[in-house]
Structures are given as C-alpha cells and as structure tokens.
Amino acid sequence: MLNELLRRYRNYNPATGEFDTPRGVREYARLLGVNDGQLSQILNDIQRPGLVVVQALARTFPDSANEIAAALVAQSPAALPLIPERVA
C-alpha cells in the first residue's frame, strides 16, 4: 500500500493538486531527498519503504500525510516501514 502511494505521488503536482506531472526515478528521488537506487527498488516492489522514505514523502508533499497515515494503519505489522534500532 505504501509502495502504491509512492508510485502515485511520483506524478503529483503540488501547485495544481493534480497527478499530472510525470517524473523519472532520479528526479523523484532528488525531490524526496532519497537514494534513487533504493527508491527504484521500492517502486518495483523489491524493497519495502523505510521510515526515511515515508518521512520524505510526507515532508515533500504535506497533502499526502492523511493518505500515509491510512496506509500505515492498513498495513500488516510485517509490512510496516523499517525503523532503525537505536543504539544505547
């Protein structure tokens, strides 16, 4: 579900609120501030999105916050974003 959301927001134009702006993976990764290789794997369902990617989506497109929250609630615990462990 989060992967689908990331794929959908790849074409989001915050100026118009429409999903009409096609972007390549590299451009989308730069916009989000994440690694393009990792984003490509997420968009192709090879890897789950981590917390950093989910936070980047919400930061870049604040309008997506409610959809992200709904997607997180709908996920099974095993599919939730990976949260790095804190080292004490």
Mean pLDDT score, 11-23:
92
Cβ atoms 86, 67 nearer than 8 A: no
pTM: 0.78
Domain layout of the chain by residue ranges: 2-75
The predicted-structure confidence for 32-64, as pLDDT tens digits, reads as follows 999 999 999 999 999 888 888 989 999 999 988
> What topology does CATH give the domain 2-75?
434 Repressor (Amino-terminal Domain) (1.10.260)
Residue-level pLDDT at 10: 94
Alpha carbon of residue 23 to chain centroid: 14
Q: Is 83 helix (H, G, I), strand (E, B) or coil?
A: coil
| Average pLDDT of every residue of the chain | 85
Q: Which residue has better confidence, 73 or 62?
A: 62
- Alpha carbon dihedral 17, 18, 22, 25, in 10-degree steps, equals 50
Q: Is 13 helix (H, G, I), strand (E, B) or coil?
A: strand
